[in-house]
Structures are given as C-alpha cells and as structure tokens.
Amino acid sequence: MPTEPTGASSGPPLAAAVRAATHRLAEAGIASAPVDALLLAAHALGVEPAEARRLLFLGRTDAPPGYADLVAERAHRVPLQHLTGRAAFRRLDLAVGPGVFVPRPETETLVSLALDALAGEGMPSAPLVVDLATGSGAIALAVKDEHPAAQVHAVELDPLAHGWAVANRDRLGLAVELALGDARTAYPPFAGLVDLVTCNPPYIPPGQVPVDPEVRDHDPALALYGGGTDGLELPLALVARAATLLRPGGVLLLEHADVQGGALLRALAADPAWERATDHADLAGRPRVVQAVRSSSAAPAAPAAPA
C-alpha cells in the first residue's frame, strides 16, 4: 500500500514538486513533460501512476527522496524508461535499461498483425513463431502472452540485450526460447517449418542520426542502424532469412521506417519467394509494417550472410 502523508517532511509538497518538475522537463524540450513528471513521482514513491495522481490531488504528501535527482537526470534526456526501469508494451511490463532498445508503441501494431495472422486460415493450433532481433524480447513475449499456444523462439545478437530478454522472460514466466546469435543465419533446423516470422530490425540509414538524445545517446547503435545507404541492408538480409525459415503460406511481418515501405514492397514483389506483400500503417497513420506470405513455388532464398 502506498504511504499516506505522515507529516514527516521528506521534501516540498508533492504537487509543487511535480509542477516544478513539469516546468523543468518542458524547458529541457521534453514534449511529454507532465506525464514524465508524474511517472517519475510514482516511481520514486513506489506506487502505480494512478495512485500517484490520487496522492497528488489529495495534497497531503511530500515529494519523495530521490525525486529531484530523477527529474534532473530526465532533464538531461536520460530516457524515462531507463529511470523507471520499465517499459509498457501491450499487456506487459518489461524491464529495460542501458544496453537494450526501449520497445516503442508503434511496434505494438506489429504484434496486433501477428495475432491476426496466427488467427488466420491455414495456421496450425500450435504455430511455430520466430522473432528475429528480439532486443528486450518485446514482440516474442507479447505474442506468447496473447497467443499462449504458439511455440515462440527469438534470437538476439547483442549479449547485453539478450540478458534483458532472458530477465524479462523469466520474470514474466512466459515460455519463450531465447537464443544468442546472428539472426541472419539463425535456426537452420527450422528451415521451411516456421509459420510466422516477426522482426523489428535496426533500420535507420547510417547518415540519419536521430535528433532525440534519448534515442541517439541511449539506444544501442546496433539496435538503430540498418546498414547500407538506405538502412535496409540488415532488414533485407532478415527478409532473406525469413524466406528460408518460413513454410509455404507462412507469414512475414517486418517493421520499417515510414520512408522505407516502397523499397521493401518492391524488393518483396521482385522476389518469387514472396506473394501478397502489403504495407500496414501504425496508429499514427504512418507506413510501418510490411507483411508478405511465403510462396509455395519458389526455391528458398539464399542465406544473406555466411554461417
């Protein structure tokens, strides 16, 4: 239970501290300043955000110790999720921090599409799902959480990120198999057997360093830059890997930057391994996830990277 005010003062009144924090974070250029100020207060108080809001309106609680330090760090553009150690993703509360990509709301669209695909015609009752470049495990864990019958496997190259995924898997108690390795050559025994491949790869072109310090300075470079002049070198290598892994009729879902949809659709249309390629928008209406079905006629695409 949250602590009600005791009279023993640990700081200024909570409401005044949150107001000041909101002002400071807004001055630091943070668009979500009011929300961040409240969430940091909740974290410092050790309560859920709704309870922090209640305490705020009751007006009898002091700012908790450590709140000012958290606000100062956030003002220096340390990601909110690194300060709270949490990232909400679909129904899950994921642990995140230095060394792992913070899962984004737009990737939740990919999970919706994955669940639709798993509910579609021709999918077995216990489908085999592979998530390439899993980071914190966000997609793989959410798919397992919302489609428990799926057999979900996920691979990540970065040992630090893999460690976060393992910690999330173990804390959430979701039976997802996590491998440490290169997604370009992953899961040879699954060739031609997989029902669904999901992937949110690094896709930013090398020259387009993100403006937001939270992304530029805190998300690992390995999670951001896709390689090649257009950022599509690794995404296309993973498309090729998906072509090897999927059974005929299996489905690929790949997240991309809004400007990359056209190039990806052209690449998929030119490859006989794929059919029915489409692009889906995220909740903000931007093209975000390509979907394609593994054709039955073409021979598997060659692996994109040496074993």
For ligand SAM, the binding residue among 168, 200, 244, 260 (CB under 6 A) is 200
Of residues 187 and 274, the one with the C-beta less far from ligand SAM: 187
Please report where in the chains the tokens 């997989």 appear, as a residue: 194
CB of 64 to ligand SAM, least distance (A): 30
Binding mask 228-267 for ligand SAM (x = CB under 6 A): ------x---------------------------------
Using CA atoms, how far apart are residues 145 and 130, in angstroms rounded to an integer? Answer: 15
Could you tell me the CA-to-CA distances from 137 to 102, 132, 169, 262, 289 in Å, in that order?
Answer: 10, 10, 7, 28, 18
Return the axis-axis angle of helices 49-58 and 14-27, rounded to nearest 10°.
Answer: 120
For ligand SAM, the binding residue among 51, 73, 146, 182 (CB under 6 A) is 182
- Using CB under 6 A, count the residues that bind ligand SAM: 24
For ligand SAM, the binding residue among 79, 103, 205, 261 (CB under 6 A) is 103
Helices (H), the chain: 14-27, 33-45, 49-58, 67-75, 80-84, 105-118, 138-146, 159-172, 213-216, 221-224, 233-245, 261-270
172 touching ligand SAM, by CB under 6 A: no
166 touching ligand SAM, by CB under 6 A: no
> Exposed, middle or buried, 13 (CB in 10 Å: 0-12/13-18/19+)?
middle
Kindly identify the residues of this chain, within the stretch 11-70, that bind ligand SAM according to CB under 6 A. Answer: none
Using CA atoms, how far apart are residues 72 and 87, in angstroms rounded to an integer? Answer: 20
Q: Which residues pair with 292 in a beta bridge?
A: 252
136 touching ligand SAM, by CB under 6 A: yes
CB of 15 to ligand SAM, least distance (A): 35
Candidates 33-41, 61-69, 181-189, 272-280; binding stretch for ligand SAM (CB under 6 A): 181-189
φ/ψ of 225, rounded to 5, equals -95, 125
For ligand SAM, the binding residue among 37, 138, 268, 289 (CB under 6 A) is 138
Neighbours of 218 (CB within 10 A): 18
Is the separation of the CB atoms in 280 and 288 below 8 Å? yes
CB of 246 to ligand SAM, least distance (A): 17
Binding-site ranges for ligand SAM (CB under 6 A) = 101, 103, 107, 133-136, 138-139, 155-158, 161, 182-184, 200-202, 220, 222-223, 234
